Chains A and B, each alone.
Chain A
Amino acid sequence: MPNSYKTLEDIANYHSSLGSSSILREYVFAYTYPYSVSSQNSEYLSDSAYLTRPFYAKPVFMSVGGKIGKSYLQFEGSFWGSYTDKVGDYDVSFGKISFSSYSSLLKEFTISGFFTTFRRSAYIGRYPYDTMVLDFYEEWIYLSSGGLEFVSRGDGYGYFSGFVYNNSGVPLWSGFYKTFNGYNIRFRQISFLSTTIIPVRVEGEVGKVFVRGRYNLDFYSFLGYVFNSENLKNGLIFENRLGYTGFFEGGEMGIGFRWFLSGGGQLLGFEPVIRYRFAKRFRPEVFIGYLYPVDKALFGGISLNLFRRSFTFAYNNSHRSFYLGMEFEYAKFGF
């Protein structure tokens, strides 16, 4: 962990080195670059951008699909960026095509192809130009990646494996998950072809929901480890989450708290979130949360269900950005 970390991006980058897809509830394909931590020389690579925003904020996102016979075809795409961080700005685009079907051998299976582009610019400074004052950026990293993933899902279990081809290594991952006795477990392993300097990492997750009638309690625990033959303790990371959902006549309230610890027991960050969903027409939900240690990392919003569609409006103070999204049965759009 670099001593210079100060913002969520630093934390997120560090987590990304461990492949925690869950840190901000985002879908990460594990093509992370373990040295993409923010440090004095600030190296940023593909996935760091995935992890720098709260889970609901999708500046531009689209997913659309439909049935073809007994199979299902889906297209998914998104684009987002940042203009407020300390280094400069970045933008990321992501596209995916998935084909899902069923066979007696593979059960329900999905084959996905996807690509990403990542551009990172450094903020040089604000200088006068003619009669104006302009912000100058320099494009200094451009990456594009493409990959394939295979997923097989059975009753209460699943297996997945995939790879990405890019110019910083070829990560190859595989994992499985299983549900038993109310527990959910998941294991994942990521190693790299074409390079030997990026260490292997492994992850384990366990979670359970305790149903208590008028309320539910849930917990989730993540343990990741990046192999390090020099110092065995260095690569450990923990994420834990506790949740409460209470059911009342007027609605349902959720309180969640998650926190991150390093292998040395150092607290890396935490996030409390409170939600309330009213038992009324449109089922409106309000939520507010705080993400430490990001400066002013307060976020909040409201969502409605209307004609079986979900609409969300949210504000994230750390990015000073608004999000407006709507979700259909087979499609999602967000701005």
Chain B
Amino acid sequence: MLSLAFNINLFATFPGLVNKELPIFFGYPAFGVNAPFGEATFGIFEVGGIRYSIGEENIVLLNSSLGFGGNIGKWELAFGFSGTTAGIPRLNIYDQSYTAIFLRGGYRLKFLKGGINLPIYLLAQEGKFSVLPAPMIYVSLSTQR
């Protein structure tokens, strides 16, 4: 029976491209566990975040993702749900939480993986439903090939 694979991930996005108020680059580390379900499928669980200051302003982002994935050759595809709690005073966000569906596609090279992670945030407040995609790139270092 295959055992668990542990990962250290780095997620990054470029919010400054769509909003000049925001930093051009934003990234955070995450610790993850992959549990193989069979030869080519697995469960993913990741928790990560970052906390830093710009002047007197603290920015905090915590994120978790739990999903289901599969390997096709050296390609990896996954989907699931992400939960994000953020404190970004510049955007009037104070300890607020959001849910997203994430889709992920990446390429494996021995212990290293990388690709695109696309969380699509589901915003349903005051009777209105909308979505906010937040594309990211990621690289991952795993304990297993």
Chain A contact residues, CB within 8 Å of chain B: 154, 156-157, 159, 161, 170, 172, 174-176, 178-181, 185, 187-202, 204, 225, 227-230, 232
Contact = CB atoms under 8 A, between A and B. Distances in A.
Given A174-B80, A180-B4, A192 B45 contact: no
Contact of A229 (B1, B80, B82, B86): B86
B14 interface: no
A188 B66 contact: yes
Given A159-B43, A200-B64, A178 B35 contact: yes
A78 B68 CA distance: 33
A187 B81 contact: no
Contacts of B43: 157, 159, 176, 178, 187
A202 B97 CA distance: 13
B17 interface: no
Contact of A194 (B1, B60, B125): B125
Contacts of A159: 37, 43, 68
27 contacts: A154-B37, A157-B35, A157-B43, A159-B37, A159-B68, A174-B81, A176-B43, A178-B4, A178-B37, A180-B3, A180-B35, A187-B45, A187-B66, A188-B66, A189-B81, A189-B83, A196-B125, A199-B97, A200-B83, A200-B84, A200-B85, A202-B64, A225-B47, A227-B62, A227-B64, A229-B61, A229-B86
A189 B98 CA distance: 13
Interface in B39-77: 43, 45, 47, 51, 60-62, 64-68
B30 to A, nearest CB: 12
B8 interface: no
Given A174-B67, A178-B35, A187-B33, A228 B85 contact: yes
Contacts of B135: none
Contacts of A192: 97, 99
A237 B82 CA distance: 21
B4 A185 contact: yes
Interface of B: 1-4, 33, 35, 37-38, 43, 45, 47, 51, 60-62, 64-68, 80-87, 95-99, 122, 124-125
A229 B60 contact: yes
A199 B95 contact: yes
A193 B122 contact: yes
A174 B68 CA distance: 10
B96 A197 contact: yes
A229 B35 contact: no
Main secondary structure of the interface of A (DSSP, over half): strand
Given A188-B66, A202-B66, 18 more contacts: A157-B43, A172-B99, A176-B66, A180-B2, A181-B1, A187-B45, A189-B45, A191-B81, A194-B124, A195-B125, A196-B97, A197-B96, A197-B97, A200-B97, A201-B83, A202-B64, A229-B62, A230-B60
Given A159-B43, A180-B2, A227-B97, A200 B62 contact: yes
B85 A174 contact: no
A193 B124 contact: yes
A174 B59 CA distance: 27
A239 B110 CA distance: 37
A185 B35 contact: yes
B95 to A, nearest CB: 5
Nearest to A195: B125
Nearest 6 Cβ contacts at the A-B interface? A200-B83, A191-B83, A227-B85, A229-B87, A229-B60, A176-B43
A301 to B, nearest CB: 37
Given A174-B81, A229-B86, A198 B97 contact: yes
A215 to B, nearest CB: 25
A173 to B, nearest CB: 8
Nearest to A204: B45
A172 B81 contact: yes
A230 B60 CA distance: 8
Contacts of B67: 174
Contacts of B66: 174-176, 187-189, 202
